[in-house]
Amino acid sequence: MPRTFRWLATLGATLLTFAGDTTLAAKFPEPAMDIKPRPGKQSVVLAGGCFWCTEAVFEIIEGVDDVISGYSGGTKETAKYDLVSTGRTGHAEAILITYNPAKISYGQLLKIFFSVAHDPTSVNRQGADLGPQYRSAIFCAAEEQRRVAEAYIKQINDAHVLGKPIVTQVVPLDKFYTAETYHQDYAGRNRSNPYIVNVSDPKVEKLKKMFPGCVRKRK
């Protein structure tokens, strides 16, 4: 079932998806460990359910230069939306974020990932989107990414700010496969889509309320 209609079929469950407590920003810990800034652009691959939603959140963050929707965790041959959507290919819907570490850090991106972009306490599910392709995961391209991610997960769990333990997988990045063209900037190009209006847009608004200083200023 296409995700738009799947959402309509389970409206109540979707509206409850990490709806957002604006007081969470004050409770959510700053990463105690982070990657030191270095010259040049850096990247991270994150999976947090529907890539239409996670892309929409991260592409408006100051310091983020590019966000690409795609697939990670499976093979090149099956990195196709119709196959990934079956939940049998091993992929997760993911985004490749390219960012400027002089403006925003890896740890700060993780803070937004855990507090705004998705529900990291839900196993193989985000709202009405069900299956391993919607799992929460950080695909680490380097050992320092793994160390920081695992340390921050422990820090959040120890602070008990989410009410339940984080289930996010922290795994090595093998390959990232760019999704089909029509998935790129999907939220920006499909403003009237009910899924975007009712699932993606609230996450963007949550980011603006919780971390207004992180949102890129319009020119």
Domain of 50, CATH number, reads 3.30.1060.10
Cut 0.85: pTM above it = yes
Examine the residue annotation and report whether 214 is marked as an active-site residue of this protein.
Answer: no
Q: Given the structure tokens 């695909």, which residue do they identify?
A: 139
Number of domains in the chain: 1
Q: Which two tokens stand for residue 174?
A: 């093998």
Residue type for 135, please? R
Q: Is 210 exposed, middle or buried (0-12, 13-18, 19+ CB in 10 A)?
A: buried
Instruction: Out of 50, 53, 140, 214, pick the active-site residue.
Output: 50
Q: Sort residue 62 into left (φ over 0), alpha (ψ -120 to 50) or beta.
A: beta
Q: What is the pLDDT of residues 32-66, one digit of tens each?
A: 999 999 899 999 999 999 999 999 999 999 999 99
- The Cα 51–Cα 1 span in angstroms is 17
* 218 within some domain: no
For 90-146, the pLDDT digits (tens) are 999 999 999 999 999 999 999 999 999 999 999 999 999 999 999 999 999 999 999
84 lies in a domain?
yes
